Amino acid sequence: MKKKIVVLASGRGSNFAALVQFIKRKKLNAEIVALISDNPTAGALLLADSFNIRAICIPFRKEERTNFNEKLFKTLKDSEPDLIVAAGFMKILPPEIVNYFERKIINIHPSLLPAFPGIGSIQKAWEYGVQVTGCTTHFIDNTLDGGIIILQSIVKIKPNMSLADLESAIHKEEHKILPKSVKYFIEGKIKIINRRVVIEE
């Protein structure tokens, strides 16, 4: 049986699309069984429709956080995923979900963690004046972007680079390391020694 993946996304869904394409090109033998979004206007929901992937929207309202968490938890459990991929999911997952799916949730973050965690990382790195930044895939734990790192990719910031140039360079790298990380996970190649990931090829 194919391993089942659920993707969480709040925005346009380019990382989701990269993962779908990766599977379509037969580079990964797995199935995305659902795309869940907290944002009714997320492009990722439309993309899911166009790929014939079940699109589920659980709209987020601040004052109904508990209700949102419960619905999300139930939807995830019902999907019985082998892996959950947070591909631009802009809500912090509650401990019940993180603990239940321990080391089964991969996140993509647009900086070289532990530098610039949280939101606005690309802009923060650009404004800070760092000369190298990039992106990171990691397991989600109960810290903010502090889980075990799986893969990182470096992007050099050249002096004449605009913020938009940097964003697109980072997204390009994200679209490579996210599918690759998912593949390593699905194929059982990720070994963790203390906090260090070793890929067993």
Phi, psi of 30 (to 5 degrees): -160, 170
Residues marked as catalytic: 109
Our CB check for ligand GRF shows the closer of 9 and 150 to be 9
Rounded CA-CA distance 39/37 in Å is 5
User: How many residues sit close enough to ligand GRF to count as binding (CB under 6 A)?
Assistant: 13
Query: In what order do the strands lie in the sheet containing 132-139?
Result: 55-57, 30-37, 3-8, 83-86, 105-109, 132-139, 149-156
What residues are paired with 36 via a beta bridge?
8, 56
177 three-state secondary structure? helix
Q: Of residues 32, 38, 97, 110, which one binds ligand GRF by CB under 6 A?
A: 110
Which secondary structure element, helix H or strand E, spans residue 199, and what is its range?
Answer: strand 196-199
Cβ(171)–Cβ(181) below 8 Å:
no
Asked if 149 is part of the footprint of ligand GRF (rule: CB under 6 A), the reply reads no
Asked if 87 is part of the footprint of ligand GRF (rule: CB under 6 A), the reply reads yes
Asked if 5 is part of the footprint of ligand GRF (rule: CB under 6 A), the reply reads no
Q: Of residues 141, 145, 173, 174, which one binds ligand GRF by CB under 6 A?
A: 174
Our CB check for ligand GRF shows the closer of 97 and 170 to be 170
Asked if 88 is part of the footprint of ligand GRF (rule: CB under 6 A), the reply reads yes
Asked if 109 is part of the footprint of ligand GRF (rule: CB under 6 A), the reply reads yes
Our CB check for ligand GRF shows the closer of 69 and 121 to be 121
Give the tokens for residue 105.
């949730």
What residues are paired with 152 via a beta bridge?
136
> Which spans of this chain sit near ligand GRF (rule: CB under 6 A)?
9, 11-15, 87-88, 108-110, 171, 174
